[in-house]
A and B are shown apart, each in its own frame.
Chain A
Amino acid sequence: MTDLFQYVPGNSPLHRMNPVTKIVLTVSVCAAAFLTDNLLVLLFLLVFDFMIGITAGAARKAFSVFRGLFRVSVFLFILQTLFVRRGNRLFWIVTDEGLLTAAAVVLRLLVVCLPLTLVLTVTRVSDIAGALVQVLRVPYPYAFTLTTAIRFIPQFMEEMSGIMEAQTARGVEFDTRNPIKKLGMLLPLCAPLLISSVRRTGATATAAEVRGFYLRTWESGCRKYGFGPVDLAAALICAALIAGAVLIP
C-alpha cells in the first residue's frame, strides 16, 4: 500500500513525456469518463488505462490498484443498484437501469483512479512541480504544497501502520473483521498522528526556507521541460478520447 504513490524510475515513453502532458492526459481520461454514460466507452477507457500501465512498465501496479478498489467497487455497485428505482424490475427491487447506472459508476471510479496513481509512478513529484511552475507558471508555493502533500503520503501510512502495530501490541484488537469496530479503534489514534504530522510540516517549511525557498522563481529549476513527438501524440489521443466520449451516444 505504501508504495502506491511511489515513483518508479524508468525510460518508457510515458517517463519521457512532459509532466504537463501527463497531467493533461490524466485530466482528459477523467473528463472523458464523466462525459460519457456509454458502458462500452467506459470499458474502452479502462482498457486504455491498462495499456498506459503496460507501456509504463507498471502493469503490476495497475492490477494492484484494481484489486485495492475491488471491495469499494462491489460496495458501490450494490448500493447503486438498491437506490436506483427507475427502469424495469428484474428481480426483488433490482431494476435494469439500476444495474446499468451502478456499472457505470464503478467503471468510472476505476477509470479515474488508475491514471491518478500511474502519473505518480512515472513522474517524479519534483518534476510535476517543476513543470507546473516552468510551463504553466503556477506560483511556486502552490507547487511546493502539492509536492509536500504527495511526499507525505507514504510517511503518513508508515506512521499509521507503526501506530497500529504499537496498539496491537498492547491488546487492541485491530485484527477484528467488524469495520465499524475497527473505525472506533482507529479514531483515538488520529490525535497523535495529526500532532506528529503538524510538527513535521512545520519542520519541512523551515528546512525549505533555509535552502532558499523564497528565492525560487519559475526560472530557478535547471531541468527544462520541453515538448516532443510523444507529447504531440498524447495531445491527439486526449482530443480523440474527449471527442469519442462526447460524440458516441
Chain B
Amino acid sequence: MIEIQSLTFRYEGADRDALRDVTLTVPDGAFLGIIGPAGAGKTTLAHAIGGIIPHAVRGDFYGAVRVNGSDTAETRLTDLSRMVGTVFQDVESQIISSVVEDELLYGLENFGVPRDEIEERLTFALEQVGIAPLRHRTVSSLSGGQRQKVAIASLVALRPGILVLDEPTGELDPFSSRQVFSLLRTLNREYGMTIVAVEQKIMLLCEFADRLAVLSEGRIAREGTVRQVLCDIRALEEIGVNCPRAALFSSLLAEKTGAEVPVCVNAEEAVEAARRVLG
C-alpha cells in the first residue's frame, strides 16, 4: 500500500513547488493511472513513490510517503527498491547490460537471491513479460517496445509488490503501447502487483487502469475510478487533459437528449449507449 500525506516537493533551484500538498492512497492490487499536462508534477510523484525523491534528487521535501508502512525518507533506496520497482521515462538509459539475460540477472545477483532460485525467477519474468525468445539477444538489436519490456522484466524478476512506470509508451507506436499495457494488466490481475503508470495517452488508461489521478500544477485535481473522473469532461479540458471521444460523445448525447447516458470509456460502450437511446 502507498500512502502519501501532504507531500510538497520543490526541486533545488526551482522557483515553484513541483508537488503541492498531495495526499493520495493507493491500495494493494490497484492499477492507478496518473495523467496531467506537462509540468503538472507527474514524474515527481512517480519518483516520490519509488523513493528516487528524496534519495537521488535534491530539493525541499515536506510531508510523508509511506510504502507498505515504511517511510520512504527514512528507508534506504536500496531497501525501498525491494518493494517498489521504478521504470524510468528514458528506458534507453535505464538498461545497464548489453544482453537481455544479463539485464535481468543484475538485480537478482545484487539482491543476493539464492543461486538455485535465480534461474526460476529469470524464466518466470521472461515468460510473464512475453520475451522468453529474446533471452540471449543483445539489447541494441531490440525495438523500442521490446526494450521497454526488458526494463519491465528486469524489475518483475525482483518481485516487487509495486511497479511504478513513467510514460512507458512515450516513444512507442499504438500497437506496442497496447502490448505494454496489456502486460501490465496481466501482472496486476494475475499476480496482484500494484501498478502506478504515468501516461499521456488517456485512451490506454481508460482501457486498462481502474483508477485515475489527474494532476494539475502540482496538485491532485481529480481522483477516483476511471468512470468517476471522466464524468466531468469540462473540468478535464480546463486542466488540459484530453478525454476519449467516446466519453465526449456520451456526455453530448446526454446533453442533447436529456436522457440518462452513462459515461462511456470506449467505443463499444458508446455504441451500446447510442443503441439504448435509439430504442
Task: Known A210-B77, A211-B158; judge A220-B94 contact (CB<8 A).
Answer: no
Size band of the B side of the interface? 35 or more
- A209 to B109, Cβ gap below 8 A? no
Q: Does A38 contact B (CB under 8 A)?
A: no
Q: A148 contacts B96, CB within 8 Å?
A: yes
* Contact status B88-A6, CB under 8 Å: no
A154's nearest neighbour on chain B, judged by CB, is B140
**Could you tell me if B88 and A203 are in contact, using CB atoms closer than 8 angstroms?**
yes
* In the complex, A79 has a CB within 8 A of chain B: no
Q: How far is the CA of A18 from the CA of B205 in the complex (A)?
A: 48
Name B105's closest neighbour in chain A (CB-CB): A222
Chain B 90-126 against A: per-residue CB contact (8 Å), 1 yes, 0 no? Answer: 1011111111001001111111100100100000000
Chain A residues 115 to 158 lying within 8 A of chain B, measured CB to CB, are: 124-126, 147-148, 151, 154-155
Specify which of B77, B80, B94, B110 is in contact with A203 (CB 8 Å cutoff): B94
Task: For A120, give the chain B residue with the smallest CB separation.
Answer: B98
Q: Closest residue of chain B to A205, judged by CB?
A: B56
- The CB with the most chain A CB atoms within 10 A, among B86, B108, B110, B155, is that of B110
Please provide the chain A residues from 153 to 204 with a CB less than 8 Å away from any CB of chain B in the complex. 154-155, 199-201, 203-204
Docked CA distance A210–B154 (Å): 11
What is the CA–CA distance of A105 and B105 in the complex, to the nearest angstrom? 43
CB < 8 Å neighbour of B109 from A148, A200, A221 = A221
Assign chain A's interface to a size class.
20 to 34
Q: Does B234 sit at the interface, judged by CB under 8 A?
A: no
The majority secondary structure among interface residues of chain A is helix
Chain A: CB-nearest residue to B151: A207
Residues of B within 8 A of A215 (CB): 78, 110-112
Quick check: A124 and B154 within 8 Å, CB to CB? Answer: no
Q: How far does the alpha carbon of A47 sit from the alpha carbon of B155 in the complex, in Å? A: 46
Tell me how far the C-beta of B73 lies from the nearest C-beta in chain A, rounded to whole angstroms: 16
**Interchain CB contact under 8 A, A214 and B99:** no
A200 and B86 form a contact (CB under 8 A): no
Total cross-chain contacts (CB, 8 A) = 96
A117 to chain B, nearest CB (A): 15
Are B115 and A200 neighbours in the complex by a CB distance under 8 Å?
A: no
Tell me if A208 is interfacial: C-beta within 8 Å of chain B: yes
Q: How distant is B99 from chain A, measured CB to nearest CB, in Å?
A: 6
Report if A213 contacts B (CB, 8 A). Answer: yes
Determine whether A7 belongs to the interface, using a CB cutoff of 8 Å to chain B: yes
Q: What residues of A have a CB within 8 angstroms of the CB of B155 in the complex? A: 211
Interface presence of B50 (CB below 8 A): yes
Given A6-B140, A222-B118, verify A216-B110 contact (CB < 8 Å).
Answer: yes
Nearest CB of chain A from residue B4's CB, rounded to whole Å: 19
> Judging by beta carbons under 8 Å apart, are A126 and B99 in contact?
yes
- Shortest Cβ distance from A73 into chain B, in angstroms? 28
Task: Check A151–B96 contact: CB distance below 8 A.
Answer: yes
Chain A residues in 8 Å Cβ range of B33: none
CA distance A66 to B94 in the complex (A): 33
Residue in A closest to B96 when the chains form the complex, CB atoms = A208
Q: Add 9 more A-B contacts to A200-B93, A210-B85, A220-B110 (CB < 8 A).
A: A9-B136, A124-B99, A125-B97, A126-B98, A204-B93, A207-B88, A210-B78, A212-B107, A213-B78
User: What are 23 A-B interface contacts by the 8 Å CB criterion?
Assistant: A7-B138, A124-B98, A124-B102, A126-B98, A147-B97, A151-B98, A200-B90, A203-B90, A204-B94, A204-B96, A207-B88, A208-B106, A210-B52, A210-B78, A210-B86, A212-B78, A214-B78, A215-B78, A215-B111, A220-B110, A221-B109, A222-B105, A222-B109
Residues on B lying within 8 angstroms of A by beta carbon are: 50-52, 56, 77-78, 80-81, 85-86, 88, 90, 92-99, 102, 105-112, 115, 118, 136, 138, 140, 154-155, 158
